[in-house]
Amino acid sequence: MSNPVINTKKRQPAAHGGGVRGDTSVPRSASFEGRFGRLFRSLPAAEWPKPALMDLGKKMTSDPEVDEKNPKLPSASPETNKRIQDDEENTGISAGYTYLGQFIDHDITFDPASSLQQQNDPNALIDYRTPRLDLDSLYGRGPDDQPYMYDGNKFRLGTPLFENDKPTNVRDLPRYIDPNNPQAARRALIGDKRNDENVIVSQLHAAMLQFHNKLVDRDPAGSFCDIQQQVRWHYQWIVVNDFLMKICGEDVVHSILPHLGKDQPIWRNPPRLDFYAYRNDAFMPVEFSVAAYRFGHSMVRPIYRLNTQLAGGADPNQATPDEIRRGLAGRFFIFAGVQKRGLNGFDEFPKQWAIDWSLFFDIRGSIKNGGIKRVQPAYKIDTSLVNPLGFLPEFSKPAKKPTGELTVAQLQSVPVDPAMDPSNLAQRNLLRGLSMGMPSGQDVARLMGIEPIADENLRVGKAVVADWDKNPTLVSISPAFGDNAPLWYYVLAEAQYEWVLRAKAKGGKGDEEPLRLGTVGGRIVAETLIGLLWADGHSYLRQAPNWKPDEIRSMGDLITAALS
């Protein structure tokens, strides 16, 4: 594995013979935090009645998947030998990229003070993450300032995890056990608590900790800064060459970074950032963080298989014939009011829940598998969110303790304060856009020189070819949305509409046509992430734009290296 060229000149000790606390992870900029700002400063804020937004959010949230024979019981698509087992699955993006996207988001944005109930000025908001892809959510403030996260140059790791009773190299996050209250939630000791909000992103964070440690093992004499830079560059390269290629498309990435497509020096073909412009320091665009980048919420599946060794339903080791028939055997809901059936985070989870990453990323050709060994696809980027996202655990409480067979009602959590702080994710996103003064999707399209999508083609529902004309239009929910779509919704609807045109065209693949972000959404997402890298003088794109990791070409490869 090749190492980037790094300045290893020793730092001068401070007074009293010690280094400056935290200097091993200094971000090398004038300020540790960044600012939020706007890409499209000239555009007016769009306005909508709050009830219209609440209705739209409810309409965007799917009904629970239930058994046809008994609608009171949950179900899932049966697992067949085909890789695509549900029309809502996206052939172009595997499920692991949903959570890589979440990990990236937590690396670059954190605004703890904002509220849905107040109007926020983005120029006054502080992004408590550095607006760089520098993994500060992983490294925190460094071993000098947060020594409990480290063991020398390595990260501390959590307990080993198993695939049922099969040993693995997968580890949990390190966790705090309250000696005075052993029953209390065991919170993760990591740089960003949000990376413990569900089991999948939790284990992805743990894999990144193990990747850092693996590089330490390969270069025991290397300094902490050397290893940290290597990890960052691998991660940054994957964001551009794996994540953005799948989410936005190669043509979009190459139009912003023409040196990649032309295989020429970057100084001959510098990045084309048409909309992400900064004067002195990089900033976090609210059009990205509040709207476009929330596309990933539509990719969340309602149910996941963690590994192939778990075979149970209500009993983790044995499913009933009816649970097998309903597709629940060995699979878990992303959020659930019943903890043992949901992948809820912020606490230690069963040790049998080790993730087999070949079910989430293409690892050694696993993308060709069918049945329970298949790589689970993400759901399509469309104007529909799965039902479990209608009751986020942070803003709801479990339903009554289950008795007897698990029912749909028992899986549904109960909102704590639906009027003031809704637990429905779609409603929260739409209200957030209102409070932050987002422009309409149509106004953004016009500014970018793109003809807006006609109102009759902005629809609400799942991206299934046969259902396209049956989905209600946005304006049927409220006339306030006429030529005035919320930007978050518009990004999803655009991806869906452009996909429908491809899927129905000659040579299209119907429901198995790969789906990615559309013209407006893809440009905002790709320009922001590439712009953050270009603004960072210590990124691989600035210091060695032609650098490539040895033997690692995808997130699946990086995880394989981390766990080998």
pLDDT of residue 393: 79
With H, G, I as helix, E, B as strand and everything else as coil, classify residue 320. Answer: coil
In a domain, 8, yes or no: no
Q: Given phi > 0 = left and psi -120 to 50 = alpha, else beta, which region is 441? A: alpha
Kindly report, residue by residue over 463-507, the tens digit of the pLDDT: 999 999 999 999 999 999 999 999 999 999 999 999 999 999 999
pLDDT of residue 262: 85
CA angle (524 as vertex; 386, 251 as ends), nearest 5 = 95
Domain count along the chain = 1
Kindly report, residue by residue over 298-324, the tens digit of the pLDDT: 999 999 999 999 988 777 678 889 989
In a domain, 12, yes or no: no
Beta bridge partners of 385: 61
pLDDT of residue 112: 52
| DSSP string of 441-460, one letter each residue | HHHHHHHTT-PPPPGGG-B-
pLDDT of residue 6: 37
In a domain, 170, yes or no: yes
With H, G, I as helix, E, B as strand and everything else as coil, classify residue 248. Answer: coil
pLDDT of residue 280: 82
Beta-carbon contacts of 458 under 8 Å, excluding residues fewer than 6 positions away, are 473, 474, 475, 481, 485, 489, 490, 493, 497
Which contacts of 261-268 are long-range, i.e. CB under 8 A and separated by 24 or more positions? 265/545, 265/546, 266/541, 266/545, 266/546
Containing H/E element for 331?
Answer: strand 331-333
Tokens for 481?
């949305």
Report pTM: 0.90
Kindly report, residue by residue over 407-443, the tens digit of the pLDDT: 888 888 888 877 777 899 999 999 999 999 999 999 9
In a domain, 365, yes or no: yes
Tokens for 356?
């087999």
In a domain, 369, yes or no: yes
pLDDT of residue 22: 34
Q: How far apart are CA 351 and CA 409, in angstroms?
A: 27
Q: Which residues of the chain have pLDDT under 50?
A: 1-33, 113-118
pLDDT of residue 30: 35
Q: What is the β-pairing status of strands 414-415 and 396-397?
A: antiparallel
pLDDT of residue 499: 98
Show the domain range for 177: 32-563
In a domain, 7, yes or no: no
pLDDT of residue 182: 83
pLDDT of residue 11: 34
Q: How far apart are CA 91 and CA 56, in angstroms?
A: 27
Q: How far apart are CA 315 and CA 526, in angstroms?
A: 44
Q: What is the β-pairing status of strands 34-37 and 284-285?
A: parallel
pLDDT of residue 123: 59
pLDDT of residue 357: 98
> Are the C-beta atoms of residues 383 and 430 closer than 8 Å to each other?
no
In a domain, 10, yes or no: no
Q: What is the β-pairing status of strands 154-155 and 150-151?
A: antiparallel
Containing H/E element for 102?
Answer: helix 96-108
In a domain, 51, yes or no: yes
CATH number where 352 lies: 1.10.640
CA dist 213 → 50, 159, 418 (Å): 49, 15, 44
Strands (E), 100-232: 126-127, 150-151, 154-155, 160-163, 166-171
Kindly report, residue by residue over 339-377, the tens digit of the pLDDT: 778 898 888 989 999 999 999 999 999 999 999 999 999
